[in-house]
Structure 1
Amino acid sequence: MLEDSFVYSEYLLRKRLEYFLTTNKLNRNEIKEFIEFIRKESNVVIFGGMLRDLSLSDNKLFRSDIDLVVDSINQRELYKLIKKYNPIMNKFGGFRILLNKWKLDIWSLSNTWAINEGLVIGDNFTDLLKTSFFTWDAIIYEIPTKKFKYYDNYFKDLNSGFIDINLRSNPNPIGITIRTLRMLFMNKCKISFELLNYIIPYLKKMRPEDIVSFENKSFEKKILNKEKIELINKYIHEHVHSYIYEPFGLPELEPRLPWNFQSIKNANIA
């Protein structure tokens, strides 16, 4: 059952997202214009990363790609619709669109990776919540209804900084491993025992230099370096020999504090 239990946290996300979609700052209007263009032919939702990032920080810091999913047209029809934007097929079944300022990835619902692979039945947009690897990415915003959908503990987990695996199968385990390391440093989070054990084999296969190189090719903002990777490997080794069933976080980082009403009231949405 999907609930809106943590109303202050959803309130903050809604406030930031609606501001993003209605302001012309930083060419954000081109996102709205693209979405309105797509809506003439299909329902559309925003999925995953943008909603996660706007939950955790304000609009001024958001520079990432935006993921969209449509449900009324198939992949071929979607390509015809967006052809004038010179779409590039991405490696996960969708299309990359480069606007003047912003980057978008857009999928037909049936061609999102987990649904196309038969791992999830894709009857409607709500099924997208079952397709993300990280629990923090299991959230959608329905453009026509302006409703969010997410799993029961979504905002509770964000507030406490706890990340778990939502759908274990994925086409890019190395990328998942790098993203997990980045979140440990950027978000001061704790990852589940299951997620920790997922990334350990890939950390063992890669040298710190390989991890840094992968991040440099995949992310504009650089977080990792050789010293940080060696440090995290040291802490993981200590953790699995001491608290093997406990969530893992970097011990020298202060714990995240949950939002409170005052912080939301005074939040910067720009």
Structure 2
Amino acid sequence: MLSNLPSERHLKKRIEYFFHSRKGVQANEISNFIELLINNSLEVLIFGGLLRDLTIDGLKFFKSDVDIVLDGSEIDFSLILLRISKSYNMKKNKFGGYRIKLNYWVIDIWLLSNTFAFKKKHVEYREQKDLLKTVFFNWDAIYYNYNKKELVYSKDYFESLRMLKLSIVNPINHNPVGAFRRLTRFASKINFEIDVSVVSYFSDLPLESELLNNKDRELLSKIKKHFLTSSLFPIFLCKEVQTNLFK
């Protein structure tokens, strides 16, 4: 059980602190970028690993990219991209979004309606909160509406984190290796329970994938063996198991 899990109110404070209250060049850089997005008719949704890591570990452990989803029209999105391109280096990625490299931060930004799972019809897009259905792991099913200062999350989000139960929301994943690396990153830090959906997915991930490096293959092989030798569910990635997997 995660005893120090923040409440929704406390998590909002962490988010506000991340964007507004910290001092230094790194803090100012991302705050200035967000303000550039706010000055238009698009709603800014903070999504992805930032919120998960702020929830589990707090600010000091977050070292990943910042995912930002913009909710609005294609025209408004095009206009904001034009504005961004005048001040920042921007490159289109293969999933329909854009990667923007600041001095200290890397931002991935895309239009809500162009979310990969929506475009590929893996998830039906009807309203903003359908974004929660596009995530792979349940611990990512949360976003922060920056305009409204509102957290939106799945009904069991905080409970699944409090009880440290990891499951899969949307199994159609365009980046299985990235998901595997997130799994191993989780397992290197905390003890948690793995749902049968997670076991099934990674048991089927081929070791021969050209996207895996040698370290990935070694870890995946160990995890597959651990799954096969675990006779009962739920399966846990506890400290003893982690010692064997990650030594």
TM-score (norm 2): 0.84
| 3-state secondary structure, aligned to 2:202 | helix
Measured after TM superposition, the shift of residue 230 of structure 1 is: 5.2
Aligned to 1:33: 32
Cα RMSD after superposing both structures: 2.5
Whole-Å Cα distance in 2 between the matches of residues 190 and 178 of structure 1?
17
Q: Contact 2:202–2:224 at 8 Å: present in 1 too?
A: no
1:149 to 147, 152, 169: 152
Ranges in structure 2 where 5+ consecutive residues have no aligned partner: 243-247
Measured after TM superposition, the shift of residue 65 of structure 1 is: 0.7
Whole-Å Cα distance in 1 between the matches of residues 28 and 128 of structure 2?
25
Change (3 A) 1:232 1:105: same
Aligned to 1:236: 227
| 3-state secondary structure, aligned to 2:237 | coil
Q: Contact 2:167–2:194 at 8 Å: present in 1 too?
A: yes
Please say which of residues 151-160 and 173-182 is displaced more in the overlay.
173-182
Change (3 A) 1:180 1:48: same
Higher relative contact order (CA 8 A, sep 6+): 1
Once the two structures are superposed, residues 50-99 of structure 1 have per-residue CA deviations (whole angstroms, 9 ceiling, x without a partner) of 10000011212212111001112325444323212121112321111111
Whole-Å Cα distance in 2 between the matches of residues 31 and 94 of structure 1?
18
The aligned runs of 1:1-270 (5 Å cut-off) are 8-22=6-20, 23-25=22-24, 27-41=26-40, 42-74=42-74, 76-84=78-86, 85-202=88-205, 204-205=207-208, 210-212=213-215, 226=218, 231-239=222-230, 242-243=231-232, 246-253=233-240
Q: Contact 1:95–1:106 at 8 Å: present in 2 too?
A: yes
Change (3 A) 1:9 1:94: same
Whole-Å Cα distance in 2 between the matches of residues 249 and 11 of structure 1?
30
Measured after TM superposition, the shift of residue 229 of structure 1 is: 5.1
Percent identity reads: 36
| 3-state secondary structure, aligned to 2:235 | coil
**How many aligned residue pairs are there?**
232
